[in-house]
Amino acid sequence: MAENHEVERTYRDLGLEAVSSEPVSTEGTRSFAQQMLGFWVTFKTMFKKVNTVEYPDVKEPTAPRFHGRHQLNRHPDGLEKCIGCELCAWACPADAIYVEGESNTEENRMSPGERYGKVYQINYLRCIFCGLCIEACPTRALTMTNEYELADDSRSKLIYEKADLLAPLRDGMLMPPHPMYPDMTDENYYKGDVLGFHPSQEVQQ
Amino acid sequence: MVEMITLVIDGFEVSVPKGTLVIRAAEKLGIQIPRFCDHPLLDPVGACRQCLVDVEINGRAFPKPQASCTIPVEPGMIVKTQLTSPVADKAQKGNMEFLLINHPLDCPVCDKGGECPLQNQAMSNGRGETRFEGKKRTFEKPINISSQVLLDRERCILCARCTRFSDQIAADPFITLNERGALQQVGIYEKQPFESYFSGNTVQICPVGALTGASYRFRARPFDLVSTPSACEHCASGCSLRTDVRRGKTLRRLAGDDPDVNEEWNCDKGRWAFKYVTAADRLTQPMVRDASGDLQVASWPEAIAAAANGLRGKRAGVLVGGRATVEDAYGYSKFARVALGTNDIDFRARITSNEEREFLAAKVVGSKVTNADIDRADSILLVGFETEEESPIVFLRVHKQVRKRGLKVTAIASKLSTGNEKLKATFVPVAPGAEAEAIAKQELTPNSVILVGERASESAGALSAVVALADRTGAKVAWIPRRAGERGALEAGAIGNLLPGGRPVTDAAARADVATVWGIERVPSEIGLSSDEIFAAVNSDQIHALVVGGIDPHDAGNIHATLSALKGAFVVSLEIRPSEVTKIADVVLPTAAVPEKSGSFMNWEGRARAFEVAVPDSLNRSDVRILTMISDELGRPMALPTVKSAARELASFGEWDGAKSTFAPFSSVKAPKIGANQALLTSWRRLLDESSLQEGEDNLAGTARKSVVVISPKRASSLGVVDGDAVRVSNDHGAVVLPVLVEAIHDDAVWLPRNSRGSHLLATLGVASGSLVTVVKD
């Protein structure tokens, strides 16, 4: 309050109240023809092709590189690409990603190599869709889809778990856990030498 | 006076003591030379070649860059580091390139990623891009060099820090560098596993991710962790630690840097035994036993009221656990005197004696013997104390001096231990119970230090002999208990004959002091009962209520008397997890574990080891707060609502400047007669055993030493057994059958681990040392 008084005083001290001013002059009412001319733009637009669609009944595809919901990808035989390294969480400027790693074992193998992501959560209340996580991912496990319908009625529903983010199984993929492709190392997986599953991988685990 | 040498580094003049290495002199100027193998506490080796600098002495330059971690400073030396010499810079970059040729691109899956000296220095002193196009050398990965340490050989840069640590510091040379050239790798001996009590330090000092801990593997990244400086709750060495917590769960603990106590090391128990805090059966709710005899969950006000009602008007005793913080122990001490009006309090819930109590009051409380006295000592005498098993950092302290200047160590014990072998100790074999005689024969100087363990109380007269020896020779005496809280509890007066600050109960002025601070009329003047006497008093119907803070009845000398006392009395138990006590207790009050509370321990030197809350969101409370609530309910408030207030009030006492109690010697007991097939039992607890704080640590338990019966060669030949044969050790209570190991031990003695797998002496035999057992071939 004290500061405000001071400001007022300076205002007065400067003599700004004494500056002369004139009222703004307005022109009279426009003629009917002039008014109709103003509606011409509106009228003309009625015959143009519309840009908007009847969402949600009609959905337009997004731009191909639109940053939408994330996806955790799989290798062609179904093993997960995520190794739980947390580099995405590290890169995230909004602290939206939470990852916990775990060791792969012979009995429970989720990804090639030693390590997989046991817990993977993205908090879409925080995510700003900047894509830095995608750049950070060393295995191309994390990419972004074009899905943009990310609204829900509670906060907890907007924390996506690993199950919500994992890519669906395609043809030639097996649901992990299962062993690695015979005679292939994790390096072969990264190089793309594995093209589908091998019958020996279909053991029940 | 240390001779100072002046040299020039990067154009700056600096004076350092003679013998300083160039790399340290540069540090003094704030110039960081990249390094991997260099460690200030290990001998220089010059293995990694990363710290190359240009050196010139009196105008004559070395033809090639030199490793600054192996060259001591010289007068007239001119050093140019990578900052001023393009040659040194190029040499370092080239060396980094060589180190990275075979280093795998594991960073995303490597535990060290984010806190890796190789990562950091490759960025600061290496090339941005690799020029190597060949195939990297690969090894199978990872391999277990012990159940708790994993080795990724392809990540190793052969700096030899781990092997030098094991050899020079821990005296456990179980790992070494095998093979040569590109195939060189860290290896273990085929016959001897890497079962070192200090193996965790190799993981901490590894400058790459070659050595990783099995229990932390893939758990977190450095940026996930909230680090809190803390103190170790496991033993009286009092290591400073760093606790790393992720989302309310301790994921790892690292040794803190405290040159006066633990330098940069700690033991594997302190590093890896912390899962008990997050065990599924942790107590979180107060419980009260109902009319039908079942424990029912209650609200805090209900439980506090039940505890107060049970204690009101009864004669009660207080038993403080050995791992109470100083503040909690002070809470128990004040609670006993103010709320219960008794001196019947004892922190020693273990085998003990009144001789020990007198010894503590006369010689230990307020004692100022420290680690520095060990560093300066001309000889060390160990009585009832195994450094490596019972206080491992004391072992490292003593071993450092043994290695550096051949410090003389003498051990009075029944069995020669591995630790004492490593200390090259003179082993004075005595029959269990006959320690006093051997102590009296020792010759010491005023510069010697006698390290007395808590097991000295198990041999009548031993402590009296120690006092006599110290008085005769002027040697210093230090008492090193096994548990972290005992020295602090002693200073806080959680014992029958002492009030806070070492004030004798029998001294009227001391009592008046304490009564003034506490604002009560009088403090009880008779010396309180010891833990054994309290149990006996319950059994003879003199005491009717007990306040028990975290003790295990199996630690006490007489398990039957202890359990029947706990059953017979009204018991209020303050515990973190269900135990034998909570099974019987009438009121169970959950308390905070060490990471969940603040406070301080006092290590054996009497040095305060304060720690802050590491897991802030726990709802558990410190013992002192709960005791305050009970005292309020009892109508005799002790007014210690917070840990800080307890610390402040205890500090306000200051040290007792009046007379200490004098020590009247106790006589030793004549050894019982030993018949055929009979022997005198001796034992100690091993560092890694089946203690309750190590539950659930399977990786840690994997490196525990095997349980064996140790007998002398003479007994082995009379029994007709060789190493590995099963031997049965028994008495009226029970029997233990274990494989035998023939070793240096007194002929009358038989040794067993006190609380290891298959050998729980106090539970099965009911005794732990000094009594007769039958030893036969099984």
pLDDT at residue B617, rounded to an integer: 81
pLDDT at residue A2, rounded to an integer: 46
pLDDT of B153 over the 80 cut: yes
Q: pTM to 2 decimals?
A: 0.91
Q: How far is A68 from chain B (nearest CA, A)?
A: 25
**B137 close to A (CB below 8 A):** no
Q: Quick count: other Cβ atoms within 10 Å of Cβ A99?
A: 23
**A6 close to B (CB below 8 A):** no
A122: its two tokens: 């993205």
Residues 6+ apart with CB under 8 A from B730: B736, B765, B773, B774, B776
Q: Which residue has the tokens 């040498």?
A: B5
Which amino acid, B108?
P
Which among B752, B764, B766, B768 has a CA at the least distance from the CA of B705?
A: B752
CA B370 vs CA B238, B297, B374: distances in Å? 12, 46, 7
Nearest CA in chain B to A103: B218
Q: Which residue has the tokens 């033809």?
A: B63
pLDDT, tens digit, for every residue of B693-705? 998 898 999 999 9
Give the mutation candidate from A81, A88, A90 for the B interface (greatest B CB count, under 10 A). A90
Q: How far is B218 from chain A (nearest CA, A)?
A: 5
pLDDT, tens digit, for every residue of B646-685? 999 999 998 899 898 899 999 988 888 898 899 999 999 9
pLDDT of B364 over the 80 cut: yes
- In this prediction, residue B768 has a pLDDT band, given cuts at 50, 70 and 90, of confident
Of B739 and A18, more confident:
B739
**A136 close to B (CB below 8 A):** no
Cβ contact, residue pair B217, A103, below 8 Å: yes
User: Per-domain residue ranges for chain A?
Assistant: 70-168
Cβ atoms of B22 and B71 within 8 Å: the answer is: yes
Of A121 and B188, more confident:
A121
**A66 close to B (CB below 8 A):** no
pLDDT at residue A4, rounded to an integer: 53
Which among B742, B776, B736 has a CA at the least distance from the CA of B759?
A: B736
**B142 close to A (CB below 8 A):** yes
B116: its two tokens: 């890796």
pLDDT at residue A8, rounded to an integer: 57
pLDDT, tens digit, for every residue of B237-252? 999 999 999 998 999 9
Cβ atoms of B684 and B386 within 8 Å: the answer is: yes
List CB contacts (< 8 A) between A103 and chain B: 217-218
Cβ atoms of B205 and B116 within 8 Å: the answer is: no
Q: Which CATH number fits domain A70-168: 3.60.15.10, 1.10.3720.10, 3.40.50.720, 3.30.70.3270?
A: 3.30.70.3270
**B219 close to A (CB below 8 A):** yes
Q: What is the mean pLDDT of chain A?
A: 89
Cβ contact, residue pair A100, B220, below 8 Å: yes
**A139 close to B (CB below 8 A):** yes
Instruction: Nearest by CB to B221, from A90, A102, A103: name it.
Output: A90
Q: Computed over its alpha carbons, how large is the radius of gyration of chain B? A: 28
Cβ atoms of B165 and B205 within 8 Å: the answer is: yes
> Minimum mean pLDDT among A43-52, B188-197, B387-396, B708-717: which range?
B188-197
pLDDT at residue B309, rounded to an integer: 96
pLDDT at residue A121, rounded to an integer: 97
B178: its two tokens: 């095998």
pLDDT, tens digit, for every residue of B102-142? 999 999 999 999 999 999 999 999 988 889 999 998 898 88
Q: How far is B232 from chain A (nearest CA, A)?
A: 27
Q: Is the ipTM of this complex over 0.95?
A: no
Cβ contact, residue pair B224, A86, below 8 Å: yes
Instruction: Nearest by CB to B108, from A87, A89, A100: name it.
Output: A87
Mean pLDDT of B542-558: 91
Mean pLDDT of A78-90: 95
pLDDT, tens digit, for every residue of B477-489? 999 999 999 999 9
- In this prediction, residue A11 has a pLDDT band, given cuts at 50, 70 and 90, of low
pLDDT, tens digit, for every residue of A141-151? 999 999 999 99
Q: Quick count: other Cβ atoms within 10 Å of Cβ B651?
A: 13
pLDDT of A3 over the 70 cut: no
Cβ atoms of B378 and B474 within 8 Å: the answer is: no
State how far the Cα of B626 lies from the Cα of B649, in Å rounded to an integer: 17
Mean pLDDT of B416-435: 95
pLDDT at residue B140, rounded to an integer: 86
Cβ contact, residue pair A114, B109, below 8 Å: yes
Q: Quick count: other Cβ atoms within 10 Å of Cβ A77?
A: 22
pLDDT at residue A83, rounded to an integer: 95
**A87 close to B (CB below 8 A):** yes
Nearest CA in chain B to A84: B109
Give the mutation candidate from B105, B106, B107, B109 for the A interface (greatest A CB count, under 10 A). B109
pLDDT at residue B316, rounded to an integer: 96
pLDDT at residue B39, rounded to an integer: 96
pLDDT of B579 over the 90 cut: yes
**B114 close to A (CB below 8 A):** yes
- In this prediction, residue B192 has a pLDDT band, given cuts at 50, 70 and 90, of confident
pLDDT at residue B557, rounded to an integer: 80
Cβ contact, residue pair A85, B219, below 8 Å: no
Which among B413, B401, B355 has a CA at the least distance from the CA of B377?
A: B401
Chain B contacts in chain A segment 155-194 (CB below 8 A):
none
Which amino acid, B475?
A
Cβ atoms of A195 and A76 within 8 Å: the answer is: yes
Q: How far is B225 from chain A (nearest CA, A)?
A: 12
| Pairing assessment for the beta strands B66-67 and B60-61 based on DSSP bridges | unpaired
Nearest CA in chain A to B223: A90
CA B129 vs CA A47, A130, A142, B473: distances in Å? 60, 27, 25, 68
Task: Give strand pairing partners of A71.
Answer: A143
Which amino acid, B487?
R
Core vs surface per residue B296-316: b (16+ CB within 10 A) or e: eebeeeebbbbbbebbeeebb
Nearest CA in chain A to B222: A90
Angle, vertex CA B362, rays to CA B361 and CA B364, nearest 5: 70
State how far the Cα of B436 lies from the Cα of B456, in Å rounded to an integer: 10
List CB contacts (< 8 A) between A89 and chain B: 221, 224
Instruction: Nearest by CB to A85, from B108, B141, B142: name it.
Output: B108
Which among B305, B335, B310 has a CA at the least distance from the CA of B320?
A: B335
B240-246 sheet: strands from edge to edge: B226-231, B240-246, B249-255
Q: What is the mean pLDDT of chain B?
A: 94
pLDDT of A88 over the 70 cut: yes
List CB contacts (< 8 A) between B223 and chain A: 90
Nearest CA in chain A to B152: A114
Give the mutation candidate from B116, B218, B699 for the A interface (greatest A CB count, under 10 A). B218
Give the mutation candidate from A81, A87, A190 for the B interface (greatest B CB count, under 10 A). A87
Q: How far is B193 from chain A (nearest CA, A)?
A: 24
Residues 6+ apart with CB under 8 A from B237: B261, B262, B267, B391, B392, B393, B394, B603, B604
B759: its two tokens: 């050998």
**B655 close to A (CB below 8 A):** no
Cβ contact, residue pair B218, A101, below 8 Å: yes
Angle, vertex CA A29, rays to CA A28 and CA A31, nearest 5: 125
pLDDT at residue A6, rounded to an integer: 57
Phi and psi torsions of B470, nearest 5°? -65, -40
Q: Quick count: other Cβ atoms within 10 Å of Cβ B522?
A: 11
**B218 close to A (CB below 8 A):** yes
Which among B534, B519, B501 has a CA at the least distance from the CA of B342?
A: B534
pLDDT, tens digit, for every residue of B499-523? 999 999 999 999 999 999 999 999 9
Nearest CA in chain B to A87: B108
Which among B23, B48, B178 has a CA at the least distance from the CA of B103?
A: B48
| Strand runs labelled E in B581-668 | 587-590, 599-602, 608-611
Cβ contact, residue pair A114, B141, below 8 Å: yes
Cβ contact, residue pair B221, A86, below 8 Å: yes
List CB contacts (< 8 A) between B221 and chain A: 86, 89-90
pLDDT of B326 over the 90 cut: yes
List CB contacts (< 8 A) between A110 and chain B: none
State how far the Cα of B356 lies from the Cα of B452, in Å rounded to an integer: 11
